[in-house]
Structure 1
Amino acid sequence: MIHSIIQPCIELRGIVSHFWTGSWESILSKPNNTHYIIANRLTEITFAFNNTKPNADLVFSSIQGHTYLPRTAVVSEYNHLIGVTFNSYALNRVFDTQALDLSNEFISVDTFLGSKGKTLNEMIASPNTTEKRIKILSDFILSMLNERFSNDRLILNSINKIDLSLGTLRIEDLAKKYHLSEKQFGRRFKAFTGFSPKIFSRIVRFEASIANQINSDSLTDLAQKTGYFDQAHFNNEFKSLTGFSPKNFWKLKD
């Protein structure tokens, strides 16, 4: 698979994590008809095409909510994907919905957005380059912004600290730092992110293991680098969050 990441414009930073594309050479591999969903703390809108050409057919579009439950979805065959990945806690600034409302969801764009989703599909499906499609997506998101939205700065700071610790920070210590009981902190964190802080931390550590895989000599080395007790714990956690062993998971990208 050929994968690329495109950073959002300044106006969308903090709302959109990134735009992305993924392509498979049709000569070398059959079109995909299985969409793999793994643990993810972010929310994605995906547009799938039957090839990479500007006049490619749009075969499906979907919105995938944040989740810690791996699964697969049977979809129309595709060879090329274009997507936008949102920080789930910013969803109510764009779509007037809470993070919890999309937890574990996998639904079509037009089901989620109604007539606006149908119009967006038509615009994305029109003959376009990747650059033009990213521009269409950016303009659409900007047009949807709710300026009355306000962030929970305490939870945003907590997310940053969990990220910096690669998910190993003790939640009870974090709650004490902000003079909250662990229960109070957990309720506030889940209302903002859609996850309990402990599950969120698990996913952050899991994502750190994926990011560090290329720089690790072995799975044991990778487990140690990302704070797992041992390789057995790492393997069990990885399968719980992806549905695959680490080795089989990395084979998917081929």
Structure 2
Amino acid sequence: MRSITFSYVPPLEDLKGDVEHFRIAEYAGSEGTAIKVCPNGLPGLVFQHHNGDSAIKCIVTNSGRIVHLPTLFLHGQITELAVMNFKSGSYLSVQAVLKPHALKTLFGMDASILTNANRWYPDFSGEELNAQLVNDAKSGQECVELLSTFLLAKLRHARPRDLLVEESLSFIHENIKAITVKDLLRHLHISERQYEKRFVQTVGVTPQFYIRVKRFNEAIRLMDTGEYERLSDVAYALNFHDQSHFIRDIKQFSGITPKNISQKVNQFHHDHIGASYQ
């Protein structure tokens, strides 16, 4: 992704409970681009434009195609590889990468409704914010400041937090190399049926699926370190049942095999938020 420059801005202290980072992407070329985005377990609030109009032509997944996206939209969990097709010309994209639970706490939404879907800015009272971003913001940093002010206002009217689900998310992240749902249930002292219902409403996917996605992203991170000579070593480090399960998940979420990922080293972009490639 040499043609696209990325920069990251940490959230304000008050937003750290609900926002991971702000990611600014700037493209200065003239040709249209297609970026393949892998699932990462994180929803987001996205502003993107070229001269005040949406820079995205369409988003394509195995399940369908999304067209006519607005300059500002909110998206939920993505469960499959998504290809974002951008129009010709330069563009700016600024994303508030949200914590997995933030759709419920900040926006009062059942997160499962937004899985593999999005909401336009009028649906979450973002009309004024969109106008400010389009008309007033002169840089990615100014976009971040406007998005932060908007999210702080949401935070002041935040819904009650599901602290048990948030605790389980932390437990998953801390133990991603070996965690199972059974481990979670023992740790939380809760029935599987009750826990899964609360998790899906708060996060948007089942805990089993969320663990698979986070383990996939950890696998990409480990492969990117160069510390492992063989792919089987990565699979072993993450306690996959066998290498076939490892290859299946990598291919399902990235669209390519682990071996091919190493061959796309100049096209593959991985950071603390997720993985994507052109």
Task: Identify the TM-score tier after normalising by the shorter chain.
Answer: 0.7 to 0.9
RMSD: 2.6
Change in 2 beyond 3 A, CA 1:235/1:154: same
Match of 1:140 in 2: 150
1:157 Cα deviation from its structure 2 partner: 1.6
Q: Does 1:225 align with 2:234?
A: no
In structure 2, what is the Cα distance between the partners aligned to 1:150 and 1:203?
26
The AA in structure 1 aligned to 2:46 is T
Q: Which runs of 4+ in 1 moved over 4 A?
A: none
Match of 2:273 in 1: none
Match of 1:61 in 2: 72
Q: Does 1:93 align with 2:105?
A: yes
1:192-232 residue CA offsets vs partner (Å, 9 max, x unmatched): 22221111111111121233232134433333333334443
Number of corresponding residues = 243
Higher relative contact order (CA 8 A, sep 6+): 2
Match of 1:53 in 2: none
1:87-138 residue CA offsets vs partner (Å, 9 max, x unmatched): 131223322212122111145x33533xx33322221122512221110110
1:25 Cα deviation from its structure 2 partner: 4.4
Match of 1:195 in 2: 205
Once the two structures are aligned, what percentage of the paired residues are identical?
22
Change in 2 beyond 3 A, CA 1:9/1:82: same
Could you say what secondary structure the match of 2:73 adopts?
strand
In structure 2, what is the Cα distance between the partners aligned to 1:90 and 1:8?
14
Contact 2:92 2:140 in 1 (8 A): no
In structure 2, what is the Cα distance between the partners aligned to 1:80 and 1:49?
6
Change in 2 beyond 3 A, CA 1:23/1:245: farther
Match of 1:47 in 2: 47
Contact 1:89 1:98 in 2 (8 A): no
1:38 Cα deviation from its structure 2 partner: 2.6
Q: Does 1:206 align with 2:209?
A: no
1:74 Cα deviation from its structure 2 partner: 4.2
In structure 2, the gaps of 5 or more residues are: 55-70, 270-277
The AA in structure 2 aligned to 1:62 is F
Match of 2:123 in 1: 112
In structure 1, the gaps of 5 or more residues are: 51-55
Contact 2:75 2:117 in 1 (8 A): yes
Greater percentage in helix = 1
Q: Does 1:179 align with 2:189?
A: yes
1:190 Cα deviation from its structure 2 partner: 1.9
In structure 2, what is the Cα distance between the partners aligned to 1:177 and 1:110?
39
| TM score, norm. by length of structure 2 | 0.76
Could you say what secondary structure the match of 1:42 adopts?
coil
1:73 Cα deviation from its structure 2 partner: 4.7
